[in-house]
A and B are shown apart, each in its own frame.
Chain A
Amino acid sequence: MSFADFRGSGPFVEERPVLSGDRIADLPDLEGELEVYLGGGESGLYRDLIALLEDVYPEFNALIRGFGAAEAANTILTEGESTPADVFWSVDAGSVGAVADEGLTGTLPAEVVDPVPDEFHPNDEWVGTAGRARAVPYNTDVLSAAEVPDSVMAFPETAELSDAMGWAPTYGAFQAFVTAMRVLEGRDRTETWLRGMVDAGVSEYNDEFLVSNAVAEGEIAAGFANHYYALRVKAARPEAPLELAFTGGDAGALVNVAAAAPLASSDDGDLARTFIHHLLTVEAQEFFATRTYAYPMLPGVPPVGGLPPVDELNPPALDLAELSEVQPTLDLLRETDVL
Chain B
Amino acid sequence: MAPGEDATRPASPVADREEEPDSEATAGLLLGAAAVAVAAAVLSPVLWLLLRAAETGIAEAWALATSATALQVLVNSVVLVAVVTVASVVIGLALAVLTVQTDLPFARLWTVAAALPLVVPSYIGAFAYASAFGPQGELADLLAPLGLQVPTIYGLPGTALVLTLFVYPYVFLTTRASLLSFDATQLEAARTLNHGYRSAFRRVVLPQIAPGVAAGALLVALYTLSDFGTPAIMGYDAFTRVIFVELGTFGRGRATVLALELLGVTALVLALESRVGPEESTGHGSAASTDAAIKLGVLRWPAMLLPALVATLTLVLPVAILGVWLFRSGPAYAGGGIAFEWAYGLNSVTVSLLAAAATVLLALPVAYYAGRSDSVAAELAERSTYVGYAMPGVVLGLALVFFGTRYAQELYQTIPLLVFAYVVRFLPQAVGTTRSSVLGVDVDLVGAARVLGEGPGGAFRRVTLPLIAPGLAAGGMLVFLTTMKELPATLILHPTGFTTLVTYIWRVQEAGYYGRAALPALVLVAVSGLSMVLLLRVEGTDE
Contacts and interface: CB of A to CB of B under 8 A. Distances in A.
B409 interface: yes
A82 B136 contact: no
Given A41-B511, A71-B247, A74-B250, A210 B136 contact: yes
Interface in B170-220: none
Interface size of A as a range? 35 or more
Interface residues of B, number: 42
A292 interface: yes
Contacts of B134: 170, 206
Interface in B239-273: 245, 247-250, 252
Interface in A59-87: 63-68, 70-71, 73-75, 77-80, 82-84
Nearest to A231: B332
Interface in B388-407: 394, 397-398, 401-402, 405-406
B334 A71 contact: no
Contacts, number: 125
Interface string A74-110: 1101111011100000000001001000000000000
Interface of B: 134-137, 235, 245, 247-250, 252, 331-338, 394, 397-398, 401-402, 405-406, 409, 412-413, 488, 491-492, 494, 496-497, 503, 507-508, 510-513
B99 to A, nearest CB: 38
7 contacts: A9-B334, A47-B337, A65-B413, A68-B510, A78-B405, A170-B134, A235-B332
Contacts of A204: 135-136
A66 B424 CA distance: 23
A44 B511 contact: yes
A119 interface: no
Given A44-B508, A66-B503, A326-B245, A206 B252 contact: no
Contact of A73 (B250, B405, B488, B512): B250
Given A64-B497, A80-B405, 10 more contacts: A35-B496, A48-B337, A68-B510, A71-B247, A74-B250, A74-B252, A84-B412, A204-B136, A206-B137, A291-B333
A293 B333 contact: yes
A96 B320 CA distance: 39
A48 to B, nearest CB: 4
Contacts of B338: 44, 47
A43 B510 contact: yes
Given A75-B398, A75-B401, A82-B405, A43 B507 contact: yes
Nearest to A45: B335
Interface in A272-321: 291-293
Contacts of A95: 250
A266 to B, nearest CB: 15
Contact of B334 (A66, A82, A291, A326): A291
Contact of B510 (A41, A83, A324): A41
A46 B338 CA distance: 11
A35 B397 CA distance: 20
Contact of B398 (A8, A63, A78, A326): A78
Interchain residue pairs A-B with the least CB separation, the first 9: A47-B337, A82-B405, A48-B336, A44-B338, A44-B335, A206-B136, A98-B250, A70-B248, A232-B332
Contacts of B412: 82, 84
A210 B398 CA distance: 36
Contacts of A75: 397-398, 401, 492
Given A35-B496, A44-B511, A339-B235, A71 B332 contact: no
Nearest to B339: A44
A66 B507 contact: yes
A74 B398 contact: yes
A45 B136 contact: no
A40 interface: yes
A46 B409 CA distance: 28
B405 A43 contact: no
B250 A77 contact: yes
Interface string A29-57: 00000010000111111111001000000
Interface hub of B250, B405, B412 (most chain A Cβ within 10 A): B250
Contacts of B507: 43-44, 66
A10 B540 CA distance: 58
Contacts of B135: 204, 206
Contacts of B491: 66-68, 71
Given A44-B511, A206-B137, A67 B492 contact: yes
B486 to A, nearest CB: 14
Contact of B401 (A41, A79, A170, A324): A79
A181 to B, nearest CB: 18
A326 B245 CA distance: 8
A236 interface: yes
Contacts of B402: 78
A44 B496 contact: no
